[in-house]
Amino acid sequence: MPELPELNPVIHGKLRLALLSLLSGVEEAEFTWLRSKTGSTDGNLGAQLLKLEEAGYVVVEKKFVQRKPQSLYRMTEAGRTALTEYVVALKQLLGGAME
């Protein structure tokens, strides 16, 4: 029987998974947009985005727009690869469960 793959723990967290999935469909997204789509709190969202940033899956650009701070998040190539691999692993696991 083939060995089942392990799921990437950085992506496995529900909010982090939601964030990477959201970012996979857009060029870049602002912090407030990610918050409104996930319904998360500022603190939790910031912490999870930091973990993704530390893993190299997202990059952040901070700037000021009309004197207000704005954080723009963008998914990196490593993040896209990690998400793709996670989905493949997930499908393999589900396939194994169905056998």
Partner 1 sequence: MTTDAEEMELRDRLKLIESMIAEGRRTTGSWGWTFVFWGVAYYVAIGWTAYDQNPWAWLITMVGAWVPCWLIIRYHHKNSSKPKPETTVGRAIFSIWSAMGVSMCMLFPGLGFSGRFNQHIFVAIVAAMLGVANGASGMILRWKAQIACAMVWWATSVAACFGGDNQCTVVFLVAIFLCQIVFGLYGMILEARARKLEAKNA
Where do contacts with partner 1 occur on this chain (CB under 8 A)?
Answer: 12, 14, 17-18, 21-30, 32-33, 35-37, 39, 65-66, 83, 87, 90-91, 93-94, 96-97
Cα–Cα nearest to 46, from 15, 2, 13, 78: 15
User: Cβ(62)–Cβ(71) under 8 Å?
Assistant: yes
Please identify, using beta-carbon distances, which residue of 21 and 76 lies nearer to partner 1. 21
Shortest Å, Cβ 62 to partner 1: 15
Distance, CA of 29 to CA of 27 (rounded, Å)? 7
In the bound complex, what is the minimum distance in angstroms from residue 54's beta carbon to partner 1?
A: 21
